[in-house]
Amino acid sequence: MKQIIVGIADMKVGSGTDEIVTYALGSCIGVCMYDEIAQIGGMLHAMLPKQGPNANLADTDKYVDSGIVHLYRILCRRGAGIGRIKAKIIGGANMFRFDKSGRAIDIGTLNVKEAKQSLVRFGIPITAEMTGGDTGRTVYFTAGTGEVKIRTTENQKFVI
């Protein structure tokens, strides 16, 4: 087993027992996509919901919509079967409440909504999720099986 680290606005792919890890998801969202039969999976750590028309192409993985497209294409090129890919989503917490008007700036909820819509467009079922709230999460994803272990900033542990 090798460990593969995914940074912010980043995406990585592994296979078999590779463990793909991202740290401190707050309002960002982690999208783990995998094909158990092909034993391949990847994780996206996206910051914002949508890539605008003037966005830099180098920032594809910064955005939920374009990052999911990128991850999907990479998985398919590496042998994942269309129709066999599944997803788990983590993060999307409401971490920022500093707007002077009293409204919460809830990028996390927008990220979750965009992830769900983008996955539906590709016909990818979401088999599990741990989203929302106001806590950070670290994610450990086994590429070949789709198992996701989560540790919160309060040191709670979950498996989804």
CA-to-CA distance for 80 and 95, rounded, in angstroms?
34
Under 8 Å between Cβ of 36 and 145: yes
d(CA 64, CA 144): 22
How long a stretch of residues is the chain? 160
Residue 66 in 3-state DSSP? helix
Q: Which of 6, 9, 20, 28 is catalytic?
A: 28
Residue 28 falls in the annotated catalytic set:
yes
Q: Which residues contact 139 (CB under 8 A, 6 or more apart)?
A: 21, 22, 25, 30, 32, 43, 90, 91, 148, 149, 150
Identity of the amino acid at 37: I
Neighbouring C-beta atoms of residue 62, cutoff 10 Å: 20
Give the active site residues. Answer: 28
